[in-house]
Amino acid sequence: MAQVPTAVVAASGLVGGYGVARWTKKRPLGGAALALAGGVAARQWGGKVGGPKAAALTGLYVAAFAGSHPLAKKIGAWPSVFAVAGGVALASWVVESRA
């Protein structure tokens, strides 16, 4: 079975988590989607790039989620989510391609 690229998993977790929270009006449900995708991405990163780099990428994922909130006040919610998701996806792709 083909594995979904980790960059896609991580970006989808950020975008999907926000989308679920917004459309269901249940923030914990969005958080669960965000956490589930983050866990899948962390596991894949661990297998592909090793523990220290996986931990750094996981930290970036969490920081992107946190950073999207103040960024949303400046550029809007969806643009903020897409910006941080793109940043995490790019970082994931760069780190994995160098491993």
Residue-wise pLDDT for 5-23, tens only, equals: 999 999 999 999 999 999 9
pLDDT digits 0-9 by tens, 48-94: 999 999 999 999 999 999 999 999 999 999 999 999 999 999 999 99
92, with CB counted inside 10 A (0-12, 13-18, 19+), is buried
Q: Does residue 47 carry a pLDDT above 60?
A: yes
pLDDT on residue 99: 86
Range 16-42 average pLDDT: 97
Is residue 26 helix, strand or coil? coil
Give CA–CA dist 64/84, Å, rounded. Answer: 5
* Residue 3 pLDDT class (50, 70, 90 cuts): confident
pLDDT on residue 1: 53
